[in-house]
Amino acid sequence: MYVSYTASLLPIIIGLIFLKSLNREVKIYLLLFCISFVSDLLCSYLSIKKQNNLFVLNIYYLVESCLLFIIISLRKDKILKRLVIFSFVFYILYWFWFVILENHLFTFNSFEECIKSLIFIFLFMYVMVIESRNEELELIKSYRFWFFLGYLIYFTSTFILYATATWHIYNSNQVVMNYTWQIHSVVQIIANLILAYSVLCYSRHRNLYSSYS
């Protein structure tokens, strides 16, 4: 747990160190990191108090998605913007129907997270293809590449985690999620390290991004 929290804090610490030099986009990254960390702390606190923390997760998932849609839409690509608008409208309607109408904020909604993960996996892969075609900047020096790579890894792991939420091991009452959760925790640490590097990458190479869009 402590290693996970430390990894979650790392991109926040780096962002705060270089805060004055960050552009608007990377500041939105930082806001997302902060909201994620606060959500994790609140969920842990409620869990320790033996109180239902699922409403925090459900609200966080919505806020996280909205911020990610905003971040993706900052990329100047017409096709991407249309994909973002369509995905955003679909997800908001789906979240409201599935989380609020079909269930409620205090229930576990693995299917909603699977749908969300698939949406962002597709969008992140598309953005990374766009980034790879940019001849003005080496891919390894692209802070966006590292940011979207971190989240692509995270959401791929998240999809596997929630897709196995109801799978039971043969002749056992245990669900596969008990094991995939451990793998997901390690992947989350790796993803946070990559996200931390995305902020550091921007700070190290920010002079290269004046014409970068």
User: Tokens 């990254």 belong to which residue?
Assistant: 29
Gap between the Cα atoms of 97 and 160, Å rounded: 23
Q: What is the reported pLDDT for 101? A: 84
- pTM for the full model? 0.90
Q: What is the mean pLDDT of each run of 10 residues along the chain (213 residues)?
A: 75 94 94 95 90 91 96 91 96 91 81 92 95 83 94 94 68 62 88 95 82 55
- State the Cα angle at 99 between 94 and 100, rounded to 5°: 100
The per-residue DSSP string of 2-53 comes to HHHHHHHHHHHHHHHHTGGG--HHHHHHHHHHHHHHHHHHHHHHHHHTT---
**Quick one: tokens of 144?**
């966006």
Q: What is the reported pLDDT for 98? A: 86
Kindly report the backbone phi and psi dihedral angles of residue 175, in degrees, each rounded to the nearest multiple of 5, phi listed first: -95, 155
Cβ–Cβ under 8 Å, residues 168 and 112: no
User: Domain coordinates of the chain in residue numbers?
Assistant: 2-208
Gap between the Cα atoms of 163 and 180, Å rounded: 10
